[in-house]
A and B are shown apart, each in its own frame.
Chain A
Amino acid sequence: MIAGSSWQATSQRILAMIFKEIRQMTRDRGTVGMMLAMPLIQLMIFGFAINNDPRALPMAVEVNDVSPFARSVVAALRNTSYFRVTRVIDAPGEGERLLARGEVQFVVTVPVDFGRDLVRGARPQLLVTADATDPAATGNALSSVEQAVAGALSHDLIGPLALRAQGASPVEVVVHRSYNPEGITSHNTVPGLLAVVLSMTMVMLTALSVTREVEQGTMENLLATPLRPFEVMVGKIVPYLFIGVVQMGVILLAAQFVFRVPFMGSIALTLFATLLFMVTSLALGFTLSTLARSQLQAMQMSFFYMLPSILLSGFAFPFRGMPLWAQWVAEVLPTTHFIRLVRGIMLKGWTLADAALELGVLAAMLLVLGTIAVRRYQDTVA
């Protein structure tokens, strides 16, 4: 029989390829692990972590009225399940500070003489201030306010006050959407994009560039020269920093002139935070490269990092909509902290003092990653 002349020969050869392929696949534990872990991780993230209708959002209440109506209103808001009272404000101006820092999502202010005006039929105002940087996170909660308040008061306004419950709502609910009054999604997305684009390029490019040296055998040559590990690291990182700076410029210019994103904070602080984030991402990429044995593995590791960075960091979906475990996972990612920083500075006008905490977290991450990278990157082979 002449090989290649029949379908048996064809299937024989295809089988040979299939067996070879399966054997190689099982040798590459990273790829097998990735194939098994990926669907599980995606199921966890999309099935449990992501929630476009976030509830139990932290709310601060400022009650300047002692009437039972004020208590009813707060209780009604809580009953919508959208709000969770985490702070009670007793000093004027504290509400704004809490919103700016992102400690609460809403501040509800019950004005002085709320109860008296209500009884008089003077339609007192109920002020709800929302951190509307992410319109998706606050939309449903805000739309529930009016009905909840009216419903609650209809139980209270009985007997001689029943008249107040009829007709127009007895209370004028004033909603104040801070930082993004028109609820424009791109105001929230474009600054977040800076974080995602930078972490994508910085982490992946460095991880690949180091493993490429190892894979192609040029690392041995580098290590045989007087170059020290620290020098190799800095030398590899600096060119990517330039790329990062260009990317930052493009995104910030587009934010300014194409998307008209408000820029409330200082440019210098934005640049500083971005630079810190870039260096942290580069250090992470370097650390990954010392763990990966091939470019393929480095690629897979970067992908493993990118997935939660996009989905859990608050970039694509509301951070507060996620269960606590997902929030903790996200807290470990530099992207999460940088997204808070860049949104805070651009949209809320954060000053250095406001940004100090997140900057500190990023700096600590840089320290840890940098140490691991330098430790793991040896000036010897094998």
Chain B
Amino acid sequence: MSAGGVDDGAPVIAVHGLTKRFGGRTVVDAVDLSVGRGRICGFLGPNGSGKTTTLRMICGLLIPDGGEGRVLGFDMLRERAAIKARVGYMTQKFGLFADLTIAENLEFFARVHGLDRRRERVAEALERLGLATRGQQLAGSLSGGWKQRLALAACVLHEPEILLLDEPTAGVDPQARREFWDQIHALAAQGMTVLVSTHYMDEAERCHEIAYIAYGRMLARGTIDEVIAGSRLHALQGEGRLDDGRGADRLAAEIEGRPGVAMAAPFGTAIHVCGPDAADLRAAVAPWADRIDWREVQPSLEDVFIHLMRGAQDNSVVVSP
């Protein structure tokens, strides 16, 4: 399994200063990323933050304008063919052939990768998918959840060492999402390295580690605890009713403008407030301390991300150079 001379323990994805510009816009700006073998790395960030572009550069679909890196020990600038052969990439949009059957789609990818025992592999994949009896159905007629499972099956058919998934669970129901993630963990347990982009916080929490990118810049990396601790945010949860009978949640707009408060968001009838300093935060909510019960809580990943995002500069609006 040491293709390209990768030893276990060393990162299979190691990129530095990755940069990509489209027109005058820097979409990915000096991103560093390293993922170890068998790890599941969640790739998070707002829309248009450069997640897809980064994934495309890693799998050789885009050539970076700056930076360098190794994927499975191969130079990502010069050995893209070798990388493509060993990486499975699942696109954001369903990218299989809608007018071919499920089995025909799998056969195609088996052929393209030059796999032996094609029939058996396709049959096995269909079995695993639970589509053994529906192999002759057109791929385009599958529901969203099934399409996503089929797409995953197609991109792991050649047993890639790295799996790149671009928002694989967008628009998929909770049960299908759970099954999908169970499968990702099973694949990682076999040694597959997974880099998966997502918008869902619960999915981020299922990853071994996360990388947060916003407007092209890497803002946070590490395990969830590390990222939360690294943010130095403090959070308070407020519950109770005001004098006029309104719930604590109605205070959001009022509290957010106060000094020391980074953000305030309603959660049901409760309110969630966070800021960089615990004492300042307490002071900010003091006027409502009599009626509302304020309790110190751990900031959520979402708090951290929104905080990071607000601190980053939006580059999605084109500024003429």
Residues of A within 8 A of B (CB): 216-218, 220-228, 379-382
Interface membership of chain B positions 90-127, coded 1 if the CB is closer than 8 angstroms to chain A and 0 otherwise? 01011111100000000001001110000000000000
CA distance A382 to B22 in the complex (A): 9
1/0 contact string of B215-244 vs chain A (CB within 8 Å): 000000000000000000000000000000
A381: which of B56, B85, B94 is its contact (CB, 8 Å)? B56
Q: Are A225 and B109 in contact (CB under 8 A)?
A: yes
Evaluate contact between B84 and A226: CB separation under 8 angstroms: yes
- Asked if A221 and B62 make an inter-chain contact with CB atoms under 8 angstroms apart, the answer reads no
- Cross-chain contact A218 with B61 (CB below 8 angstroms): no
Cβ contact within 8 Å between A380 and B91? no
| Nearest chain B CB to A256 CB, angstrom units | 37
- Are the C-beta atoms of A381 and B109 separated by less than 8 Å? no
Could you say which residues of chain A place their CB within 8 Å of the CB of B85? 226
Taking the nearest CB of chain A, how far is it from the CB of B172, in angstroms?
17
Contact B113 A380 (CB under 8 A): no
Find out whether the CB atom of B98 lies under 8 angstroms from the CB atom of A216.
yes
Assembled-state Cα–Cα distance A380/B61 (Å):
4
Within 8 Å by CB of A218, from B60, B95, B114, lies: B95
Give B89's nearest chain A residue, CB to CB: A224
Quote the shortest CB–CB distance from B139 to chain A (angstroms). 10
Do A217 and B95 have beta carbons less than 8 Å apart? yes
The 10 tightest CB contacts between A and B, nearest first, are A221-B95, A217-B93, A224-B89, A226-B85, A225-B112, A220-B91, A217-B95, A381-B61, A226-B84, A218-B95
**In the complex, B15 has a CB within 8 A of chain A:** no
Question: Which residues from B are CB-within-8-Å of A380?
Answer: 56, 60-63
* Complex CA distance for A66 and B315, rounded to whole angstroms: 88
Contacts of B97 in A (CB 8 A): 218
Asked if B81 CB lies within 8 Å of chain A CBs, one says yes
Q: Which residues of B contact A227 (CB under 8 A)?
A: 112
B18 within 8 A of A: no
Would you give the shortest CB distance from B193 to chain A, in whole angstroms?
16
Residue of A nearest to B151 (CB): A221
Interface residues on B, range: 20 to 34
In the complex, what distance in Å separates the CA atom of A224 from the CA atom of B158? 13
In the bound complex, how far is the Cα of B158 from the Cα of A227, in angstroms? Answer: 14
Apart from A218-B96, A225-B112, A379-B80, what are 5 other A-B pairs with CB-CB below 8 Å? A217-B94, A220-B93, A224-B87, A227-B112, A379-B60
In angstroms, how far is the closest chain A Cβ from the Cβ of B4?
A: 15
Given contacts A380-B63, A381-B62, contact A221 B84 (CB under 8 A): no
Q: Which residues of B contact A381 (CB under 8 A)?
A: 56, 61-62
11 A–B pairs (Cβ distance < 8 Å), ordered by A: A217-B95, A220-B61, A220-B95, A221-B96, A223-B61, A224-B59, A224-B89, A226-B113, A227-B112, A379-B60, A382-B62
A224's contact among B84, B98, B114, by CB below 8 Å, is which?
B84
**For residue A221, which residue of chain B has the nearest CB?**
B95
A225–B158 Cα distance when bound, in Å, is 10
A-side contacts of B61, CB under 8 Å: 220, 223-224, 380-381
Complex Cα gap A217–B62 (Å): 16
Chain B residues within an 8 Å CB radius of A379: 60, 80
Closest to B81 in A: A226
A-facing mask of B43-73, CB < 8 A → 1, else 0?
A: 0000000000000100111110000000000
Taking the closest CB of chain B, its distance from the CB of A138, in whole angstroms, is: 51
Q: Closest residue of chain A to B53, judged by CB?
A: A382
**Least CB distance, A214 to chain B, in whole angstroms:** 11
A218 to B97, CA, bound (A): 7
From A217, A226, A228, A382, B91 is in contact (CB under 8 Å) with A217
Q: Secondary structure of the B side of the interface?
A: loop
Query: Which A residue sits closest to B91, measured CB to CB?
Result: A220
Which residue of chain A has the shortest Cβ distance to B56 in the bound complex? Answer: A381
Q: Separation in Å of the A234 CB from the closest CB of chain B?
A: 14
A225 and B97 CA atoms in complex are apart in Å by: 14
Q: Roughly how many angstroms separate A218 CA and B140 CA in the complex, as a whole number? A: 12
Shortest B303–chain A CB gap in Å is 34
- Chain A min CB distance to B188 (Å): 20
B81 surroundings in chain A (CB, below 8 A): 226, 228
* CB pair A225 B91 closer than 8 Å: no
**A225 and B95: CB pair below 8 A?**
no
**Given A226-B85, A381-B62 in contact, is the A221-B91 Cβ separation under 8 Å?**
yes
Which chain B residue has the least Cβ–Cβ distance from A225?
B112
Establish whether residues A226 and B112, one from each chain, have CB atoms under 8 Å apart when the complex forms: yes
| A contact residues around B95 at 8 Å (CB) | 217-218, 220-221
Q: For the complex, what is the distance from the CA of A221 to the CA of B109, rounded to whole Å? A: 10
Q: How far, in angstroms, from A379 to B62 measured CA to CA in the complex?
A: 8
State in angstroms the CA–CA spacing of A228 and B56 once bound together.
16
List of A residues within 8 angstroms of B63 by Cβ: 380
Cα A379 to Cα B83 in complex, Å, equals 13
| Bound: A295/B96 CA distance, A | 18
Q: What 1/0 mask marks residues of chain B from 270 to 303 whose CB sits below 8 Å from any chain A CB? A: 0000000000000000000000000000000000
- Min Cβ gap A226→B in Å is 5
A22 → chain B, closest Cβ, in Å? Answer: 26
Residues in B whose Cβ lies below 8 Å from that of A226: 81, 84-85, 112-114
* Smallest beta-carbon distance B169→chain A, Å: 17
* Interchain nearest-CB distance for B22 vs A (Å): 7
Inter-chain contacts of A216 with B (CB < 8 A) = 98
Chain B residues with CB under 8 Å of A225's CB are 84, 109, 112-113
A217 nearest in chain B by CB position: B93
Q: Which residues of B lie under 8 Å from residue A220 when comparing CB positions?
A: 61, 91, 93, 95
B96 surroundings in chain A (CB, below 8 A)? 218, 221
Output the least CB separation between B47 and chain A (Å): 17
Name the A residues within 8 Å of B87 (CB-CB): 224
Complex Cα gap A349–B80 (Å): 52
Question: In the assembled complex, which residues on chain A have CB atoms less than 8 Å from the CB atom of B94?
Answer: 217
Closest to A219 in B: B95
- Distance of A221 Cα from B84 Cα, bound (Å): 11
Q: Which chain A residues border B112 with CB–CB below 8 Å? A: 222, 225-227
Give the residues in chain B near A224, CB-CB below 8 Å. 59-61, 84, 87, 89, 91
A379 to B59, CA, bound (A): 11
On chain B, the residues within 8 Å of A217 by CB distance are 91, 93-95
Taking the closest CB of chain B, its distance from the CB of A83, in whole angstroms, is: 58
Complex Cα spacing A161 to B95, Å: 90
Closest CB of chain B to A381's CB: distance in Å? 5
Determine how close the nearest CB of chain A comes to the CB of B80; give it in whole angstroms. Answer: 8
